[in-house]
Structure 1
Amino acid sequence: MKGGRKESLEERMQRLNAELAKRRVDDNAGDAAEERAAESRKGYAVAMKLSSEFVAAVIVGALLGYLVDRFVGTAPWGMIVLLLLGFCAGVLNVMRSAGMVASPHPVDRMAGRDAEHKKNEDGA
């Protein structure tokens, strides 16, 4: 009787080990799928950020152009010029956010101003 119990116990242990190994493989596949989904969500978030920055710059340019035309009376020219400037600003913002164009560091900007200021003093 004890031999049958021992064999039964060993069979159950083997089945349990096989089932655990199967579940571990399934969990690893699930983790990989979750990781891919997280990367996809990050991509969508970046796409929404970039598109909203671009659209906002164009809308602000158009609105400012409309206001300039309305109050100054330069009817389509203010709108055309500021809409194009908004478009350019939007493209620049998107390129900066995407990392294609580096934004100037504040220290570099101050160093550039100091160099120009000294150059003007030396020349005068």
Structure 2
Amino acid sequence: MSAPDEKQQMQQLEERLAAYKKATGKVKAHQEEHYSQANIAWRMVTEMVAGLGIGFGIGYGLDMVLGTTPWLMVVFALLGIAAGINVMLRTAKDVQARHEMNGADAPVDDKSAARGADEGNRDGH
């Protein structure tokens, strides 16, 4: 095979892929990707453990240098936990803001809407 044939085949393949994506509506921007609850939970756990680990490490290092054996390790471990919680709360606010921005803050399916309409009719309203 020569190089022009390969280029022509690639061009045809790209055109077919573009036509398929257009026909099926499978084109999605990177910003529209949705993250699962598990991904968000693991991210929060990682942030918490990282905060605790960094605080513990700094405290332990300072204790070894200054000779104040357990005190700075305890203080910095607590500060690390506080920092981890702070980052987790910031992540939760970010996820909630994205969720509300997508208009998914009050999901209503057809069955629950129909049930609500039936209940209203039974009450005479």
Shorter-normalised TM range: 0.3 to 0.5
TM-score, reference length from structure 2: 0.46
TM-score, reference length from structure 1: 0.47
Q: Radius of gyration: which is bigger?
A: 1
